[in-house]
Amino acid sequence: MEGAELVYFSPKMVDLTNQVINGYMYKNGTWEKVITNLPDVIINAGSPMKLNHRKVVKKLKKQIPFTTHSIGNKLTVYRRLLRDGTFKDNLIPSHLIKNTNDVFTYLDKYGKVIFKPTNGHQGKNIVYLEKVNNEYHVKVHTNMEIFTKAQLTSFIEKSIKQENYLVQPFIKSTTKAGLAFDFRIHTQKDGEGKWVICAIYPRIAKKGSVVANINSGGFTCTLDSFLRTEFEEKVNEVKQKLREFGLSLSKKLDELQISEYGELLDELGVDVGMDENGKIWVFEVNYRPGCPPIFYLELDVVRNAIRYAKYLAQKRRIV
């Protein structure tokens, strides 16, 4: 595809002694076992969990460029952008929870907050908290419970013992019908190493939920139909605003990754909300966003990935 030979392999299929790979190539409609030389570039679609596999990856990285590099968790990305300052007005104040007082401080200040894992994904374990007089409304997906301060304290303590959580003020990003929504801006680098928009699509939460992630019960539709319904005559204006924001943020994170780690980014999923004033808020950024849930865009994602891999390979040969 795209004039490149593709070999599928995992770390356990790498023979570093003989500098070959025991992998698979797709030929004539089937996957065939092959033994081939180490590739010019590696599209690393996953992160190895086993120690011996991580050692293989570490050695490969010394010889071969990888397309994908981690940008860290939610708090890492937030702090990096905050230090830089370019997008500080679009960042939601976020705080790593060390004890229950941190959450109650935010609740006293903002009234409504989001409580979520720093390493969370797919909208899991996101909790909406609201202080109402002397009670606390606690919502997980569509399930609402009313807690006393003691009950909420116990809930928070139990959660932060299991993993790291952050707290941030709740940003109201809702449709005319009152459903929570966000936009996924999927960016990639092309065959010239330039950032391009692969897709922009809305994600709408089911009724009663604050989580718009599709894996947590949310749904999507085409961008144009959503914008026509929600923004009417401002369709083109909002679309351009989202495009420019996604590209600018991707370029900035790429610059920061290069300056801090000497690594290039290849693909990002920028999740943003938009409040009633039309202001864009960064909800989170993912470095492995996967394929958009719109079938005809999958091929574009693959094409860009291969073209960018070829660009890195060519760049390596020139160097």
Task: For residue range 16-33, list pLDDT tens digits in order.
Answer: 999 999 999 999 899 999
Return d(Cα 207, Cα 180) in angstroms, integer. 8
Distance CA 180, CA 186 (A): 20
Q: Does residue 225 fall inside a structural domain? A: yes
Choose the final residue of a domain: 116, 144, 169: 169
Q: Number of structural domains, the chain?
A: 3
Q: Residue 216 has which token pair?
A: 């947590």
Q: Which residues of the chain have pLDDT under 50?
A: 319
| Predicted pLDDT of residue 130 | 96
Range of the domain at 123: 95-169
pLDDT score recorded for residue 89: 98
Digit-coded pLDDT (tens) for 33-61? 999 999 999 999 887 778 888 899 999 99
In this structure, the answer to whether residues 181 and 157 fall within a common structural domain is: no
Tokens standing for 45? 């679609």
Phi, psi dihedrals of residue 8, rounded to the nearest 5°: -90, 130
Whether the Cβ atoms of residue 185 and residue 241 lie closer than 8 Å to each other: no
What are the Cα distances from residue 174, in Å, to 99, 185, 204?
Answer: 31, 17, 9
Whether residue 297 sits in one domain with residue 218: yes
Q: Is residue 4 part of a domain?
A: no
Residue 3 covered by a domain: no
Find residue 31's DSSP bridge partners: 26
Please give the pLDDT value at position 299: 80
pLDDT recorded at residue 218: 79
> Are the C-beta atoms of 211 and 218 separated by less than 8 Å?
yes
> What is the predicted pLDDT for the residue at 45?
85
Q: Based on the fold, state whether residues 36 and 145 are members of the same structural domain.
A: no
